[in-house]
Structure 1
């Protein structure tokens, strides 16, 4: 969704590109002052300091309709599948455009049309090109627009693409994106893995709704975000599973996981649909732990709704895969767990539905707003269930930060490869508890609710959070936040 932060950031990226002589803009995009109205290409990146090539400028995506045909590995010893797909993307121009870009990695485009008209492959202003440069982490599909697109106009771009799937890795070497497994695929995108399976404006600030139509061999189950759209359709040995995600969603939170899942259906507060998919190979103690944790989802939702306001989406649930990857991700409405879902992890990923999914980080450096809150929610749940007081968990965390000398990291800017490091979670949660102690329960929870209401289905920054908390408490908190989030020394304890 367009907001002022995103507009300023894209403008800065465009200025930088022009100053560099258009570096990073494919020749197929044409001149930035092409004809009356000064039509220009959209920027080839959103301007995120950690992932400058991720995302794109000049448009907002309104809806992704993804038609995916997936053949999993034929033998578990060779983890390679085949994806053949069509993405139909409805978007609105936020500037006068003569070309636009999508992020797409490792898959080859075979055809593009705009509003039903074929776009040829080539180097002309009305043609499309694809660049994939793994060394610079630049993966761009550039689509020339003729007729050009005026600011405010909508267009539908349809892209045919496909190729072999494997085990893509992020900048730290961790698996992410469309991760091929022996029985299907575990699809987990954070931070910039979405382009490994669909053409996308991979910017957390550009939220959209989604439709998924996932065709897999008969007997396999495909699970995505949101709610099922009718019954699975079987034809010629293949099954098509359709899902609709009607709530705005950042691309890193989308999933289309495939495996030998058993689906179960339940209800939470106010009749909220809860859909769980558990791999049939999750057995024994792992299955017992998983079933016990998932059974608590309705109570967890009630508890967090009482604190932070009604659950923000149309459904919830889980995908529990037996893949060997040690992974859990808050994919919107349906978190993914690898191997086992434990109680603390389930409430952590549930907490993200408010903090991270409904309100997403404007830049990836603001990730502590996701992970600090989700970790603090673990503490709140443990206190609620009598496992440990919040005060004791705070003391234990401070001791861990002390013993590991982990106060040195500025968690408002941890660095690209430290997004998921311990201090982001631990110092973030400790800072929230210290804030609660400083301003009192009433102001703390009022501020949290205001944060969620004001920025719902959007994105925001650390500075935005500080302002909300200052307004809620009526106090100047700049020194406090610097002490607890940014400074390299141990902060003064509450």
Structure 2
């Protein structure tokens, strides 16, 4: 019987492959790239499935406060740059070591067009070891997917390839493919036209977008769509694209997507990209968050939960529309904000549809896989490789779960929505761990510095110590911390919340008290 692997198990299986990635991104930003900002990308590509190659151009619209001597972009050496235009004139450029240096002409130009092409890098273990995945469906049609979270946009287009950079006015995407193929991509489909034996698809999004979230998938798809009634009151197009062989499964997939979107909205607030769409496309690899067009390759493994159907992969990637796509970090050191908060959203689906018991069973099961080997927050200016590890998911989610236990639902849930809704943190703005922790502290009106420092920046756990004192006394303490935590203690008299720390607290009980019975906190329970 095939096992349904959960997210953490899959991550653990895939980390050996991660170490072999050829490309990385993030780290300290190149000083030359601090001199300009990208306003928009206009990508125009012909996709050639038979050759497993692409060719075309990318226009980079930028703004700079002073004249640039060098406009530095990233583009992998596997592609050949044919020419670079500014103001309609060819300009000098140098392309080596995955860096494209352009020497601007003396003009007031604010855009540059790069013509390039070549064989695409092949993904070895997508999405963890990304690139292009070229497959054939069961009807022997071409089927292409792209994944680039670990590599950045430079594996498919010239870009200012750093997590701190997002085009403030979004992207225009124009793709030419052989008939009868379709290209699913970010944003809204503006036009579809035919030229001879080719089709041209024009997609546009005006929202800022992470480089690795710019995405396109090629295949012969069956589409199903409906209007989603957002909690904002707005109607949003919702659609799924599946292979022709899976046409009969599309209505159920659409229903599962709708349930996941409604659940996320309940806890995180309105869907962040209402002017575009909510959509998934079937891909020849497991999945990945791509703004408004999430990759879905989980083989329709829906499982019953309460009165609804659940697909962990679909729900997780959709959660990134809030954390990762709207709320984006500028330094991969803080990647746990993307993954930990989204993973916690997975647990909330259990709370919403399975009830309290299902939620706490899920929390307990996931927490068992946490090795506590690496801090959740990596060093400043981390690369994606350095920052990406399983604990940003599992321990990151447990930090959020612990916050819920400490603050209580009446504070916790409005706080989550408040963070997502705060204009200081969304869309074109980058966030870091301090932004989140300061917001929580101010919202809750509570000093949580010691809690955050301990659980986010160290690998230690408080050691729970319970000692018998007399006939009806128990001394309870948490060793290894210099602060206190509110902890539930259950005795025959009921449950009370006690501030526990290094100093022992006496509790009267006939039987040994049960400390933190619902496992709100990560403790060493020797």
Same fold (TM over 0.5): yes
Counterpart of 2:58? 87
SS at structure 1 position matched to 2:105: strand
Counterpart of 1:144? 103
Counterpart of 2:469? none
**Superposed CA RMSD:** 2.6
Listed one character per residue, the Cα deviations across residues 323-371 of structure 1 (whole Å, up to 9, x for unaligned) are 2x3x311100110022525512212111110111001111112111111
Decide whether the 8 Å contact of 1:187 with 1:255 is kept in 2: yes
Say whether 1:274 aligns with 2:235: no
Superposed counterparts of 1:3-22, under 5 Å: none
Say whether 1:392 aligns with 2:345: no
Gap regions ≥5 residues in structure 2: 1-23, 137-141, 302-310, 463-477, 479-519, 522-526
SS at structure 1 position matched to 2:446: coil
Counterpart of 1:198? 157
SS at structure 1 position matched to 2:104: strand
Listed one character per residue, the Cα deviations across residues 108-138 of structure 1 (whole Å, up to 9, x for unaligned) are 110111132221xxxxxxx21111x3xxxxx
Structure 1, 217-226 or 406-415: larger mean CA deviation:
406-415
Q: CA deviation at 1:275?
A: 2.4
**Within 1, Cα distance between the matches of 2:450 and 2:411?**
18
**Within 1, Cα distance between the matches of 2:396 and 2:32?**
27
C-alpha distance 64-252 of structure 1, shift in aligned 2 (>3 A):
same
Q: TM-score, normalised by structure 1?
A: 0.77
**Within 1, Cα distance between the matches of 2:32 and 2:344?**
30
Counterpart of 1:328? 287
**Within 2, Cα distance between the matches of 1:434 and 1:244?**
40
- Match 1:159 to one of 103, 114, 120: 114
Say whether 1:295 aligns with 2:255: yes
C-alpha distance 424-216 of structure 1, shift in aligned 2 (>3 A):
same
Runs of 4 or more above 4 Å deviation: 51-55
Q: TM-score, normalised by structure 2?
A: 0.73
Counterpart of 1:444? 412
Q: CA deviation at 1:311?
A: 0.8
Counterpart of 2:134? 180
SS at structure 1 position matched to 2:34: coil
Q: CA deviation at 1:479?
A: 1.1
Q: CA deviation at 1:90?
A: 1.0
Counterpart of 1:337? 296
Aligned residues: 412
Gap regions ≥5 residues in structure 1: 1-45, 74-79, 120-126, 134-138
**Within 2, Cα distance between the matches of 1:311 and 1:217?**
34
Decide whether the 8 Å contact of 1:69 with 1:215 is kept in 2: yes
SS at structure 2 position matched to 1:147: coil
Say whether 1:456 aligns with 2:426: yes
Counterpart of 1:349? 317
Counterpart of 2:436? 465
Say whether 1:256 aligns with 2:187: no
C-alpha distance 408-344 of structure 1, shift in aligned 2 (>3 A):
same
**Within 1, Cα distance between the matches of 2:147 and 2:331?**
19
Decide whether the 8 Å contact of 1:282 with 1:339 is kept in 2: no
C-alpha distance 308-339 of structure 1, shift in aligned 2 (>3 A):
closer
Decide whether the 8 Å contact of 2:287 with 2:295 is kept in 1: yes
Say whether 1:70 aligns with 2:47: yes
SS at structure 2 position matched to 1:304: helix
**Within 2, Cα distance between the matches of 1:445 and 1:148?**
52
C-alpha distance 177-95 of structure 1, shift in aligned 2 (>3 A):
farther
Say whether 1:60 aligns with 2:29: no
Say whether 1:317 aligns with 2:279: yes
